[in-house]
Amino acid sequence: MSFTLAIVGRPNVGKSTLFNRLVGRKLALVDDQPGVTRDLREGDAKLFDLRFTVIDTAGLEEVTDDSLQGRMRRLTERAVEMADVCLFLVDGRVGITPSDETFADILRRKNARVIVGVNKAEGKAGEAGALEAYSLGLGDPLRLSAEHGEGMDDLYHVLRPLEAEFAPREAENVPLTDQDIPEDSEEEDNEELWRPSQSKPLQIAVIGRPNAGKSTLVNKILGEDRMLTGPEAGITRDAISIRSDWMGTPVRIWDTAGMRKKARVTEKLEKLSVADGLRAVRFAEVVVVLLDNAIPFEVQDLRIADFAETEGRAVVIAVNKWDLESERADKLSELKEMFARLLPQLRGAPLVTISGKTGRGMDRLHEAILKAHATWNRRVPTARLNTWLSAMTEAHPPPAPGGHRIKLRYITQAKTRPPGFVIKCSRPDELPESYKRYLINGLRDHFDMPGTPIRLFFRGQGNENPFREKKFHTPSRLRKHQGKQVKK
């Protein structure tokens, strides 16, 4: 990406709608009510042949205290300082308000490079607002319609000269999952293929119930108050991604909205927020399921963790607010027992106690995430797998439905991210689920793959008698020979 553009303005002037149009996807939540966006959201923008980074910001409010609106304003002001250029958006149908004039003065004091955009200016209804925008003294305004895509060519011509002024920046790479590997491969793990780098950062999603401390944890990882936090539940609405360097590891962290029980999610906006968080899980490689130490492993926590496992992502369980716990030894034993009993599908997954507020346990969380990511990319040679399969079937032979024992003849790894294995056997449809779980647990224990999802596929061997069900025509001379033998 060549430069960074921050979209700023009053609430409900269409900043998120324009952001979505520039990135080409509905990444930011959009609704008629003002104040939907609260955090900073970055995206890779594409405007004809121009490539740049765009930041969606919260609506500027004339509040400077420590209220939610005040914290949102400070966050937006930080975005202005981070960006190379600001697009100051005003509503063409409302015209220039005193708030617009106040925020224009703020942008001047910050010496920001500003482009004025008059949104909702399609038709005659926006002509008056476009003319009023000259009074801001920030240059010639652009008439835009983020909803209908009007004025994008004018915006392109204004931004085009900026490309040469800023050094190119690497674009975000979408993580790869379900990677096929050659059958009968004897290669061990090749760490160079999946080790996090600046071009391919480790993708981490932090998910959990509302007020579990997700944004506070992300701020501690980033080392700055980048995400909006506070005692109010449900502050975060968008799934926000931020790139950073965490203890020497290049990462992209997704902070998501809190996920309540489906029956309690009634507002349209909250439904969009939850859907946005679920989508962030699909973009991640490692999912950190954040629990509140006071009320861990509620039904919704279990559903969230199960969803991450079903999507095939490496999972780390983090118990937040550990600094408030007095009986830590007893509490930790209770947590481990609950984890093993309530989430058997994540057997062996790391469980880390942390405090997002004080930073306690952040080194252990970092180590657990790296280990889970390495396990998620694990490759096991076919020879070792078949030696293991022989030992497993000898210790506990497969069942014999109808008196015919099922034979497991061969195993190989077919996929990584997460690990997937193929077993060739006789009558695969008759193998019970209990024996499949026995094999999956054996793979976890023997090859040190705790917690990561393991996919096991069974295929027919293909060497059964091919003539069993077929009837063949006997040649006439052979039938005569058979008749003579019968007469004798």
Residue 10 is labelled as binding a ligand:
yes
Q: Is 437 annotated as a binding residue?
A: no
pLDDT tier at 57, thresholds 50, 70, 90:
confident
Indicate whether 80 pLDDT > 80.
no
Is 259 annotated as belonging to a binding site?
yes
308-346 pLDDT tens trace: 888 899 999 999 999 999 899 999 999 999 999 998 888
377 known member of a binding site: no
Mean confidence (pLDDT) of the chain: 79
Better pLDDT: 64 or 419:
419
Q: Is the pLDDT of residue 263 over 80?
A: no
Residue 171: what pLDDT? 39
> Global pTM?
0.60
Q: Is 476 assigned to a binding site? A: no
> Does 321 appear as a known binding residue?
yes
Between 35 and 197, whose confidence is greater? 197
Flag whether 213 is marked binding: yes
pLDDT band at 235 (very low <50, low <70, confident <90, very high): very low
Per the annotation, does 39 bind a ligand? no
257 is in an annotated binding site: yes
What is the pLDDT averaged over residues 270-292? 71
pLDDT at 123: 76
* HEC-encoded secondary structure of the chain: CCCEEEEEECCCCCHHHHHHHHHCCCCCCCCCCCCCCCCCEEEEEEECCEEEEEEECCCCCCCCCCCHHHHHHHHHHHHHHHCCEEEEEEECCCCCCHHHHHHHHHHHHCCCCEEEEEECCCCHHHHHHHHHHHHHCCCCCEECECCCCECHHHHHHHHHHHHHHCCCCCCCCCCCCCEECCCCCCCCCCHHHCCCCCCCCEEEEEEECCCCCHHHHHHHHHCCCCCCCCCCCCCCCCCEEEEEEECCEEEEEEECCCCCCHHHCCCHHHHHHHHHHHHHHHHCCEEEEEEECCCCCCHHHHHHHHHHHHCCCEEEEEEECHHHCCCHHHHHHHHHHHHHHHCHHHCCCCEEECCCCCCCCHHHHHHHHHHHHHHHCCCCCHHHHHHHHHHHHHHCCCCCHHHCCCCEEEEEEEEECCCEEEEEECCHHHCCHHHHHHHHHHHHHHCCCCCCCCEEEEEECCCCCCCCCCCCCCCHHHHHHHHHHHHC
324 is in an annotated binding site: no
| pLDDT of amino acid 286 | 94
pLDDT above 80 for 51: yes
Determine if residue 11 is labeled as part of a ligand binding site: yes
- The response to whether 214 counts as a known ligand-binding position is yes
Q: What is the pLDDT of residues 396-449, one digit of tens each?
A: 999 888 778 889 999 999 989 899 999 999 888 889 999 999 999 999 999 999
210 is in an annotated binding site: yes
320 marked ligand binding residue: yes
Q: Which residue has the higher pLDDT, 356 or 29?
A: 356
**pLDDT at residue 222, rounded to an integer:** 85
Q: For residue 260, what pLDDT is reported?
A: 46
pLDDT digits (tens, 9 = 90+) for 145-204: 988 889 999 999 999 888 766 644 433 445 667 677 765 555 555 677 788 988 889 999
Annotation-wise, does 258 bind a ligand? Answer: yes
Is 212 annotated in a binding site? The answer is yes
The annotation status of 211 as a binding-site residue, yes or no, is: yes
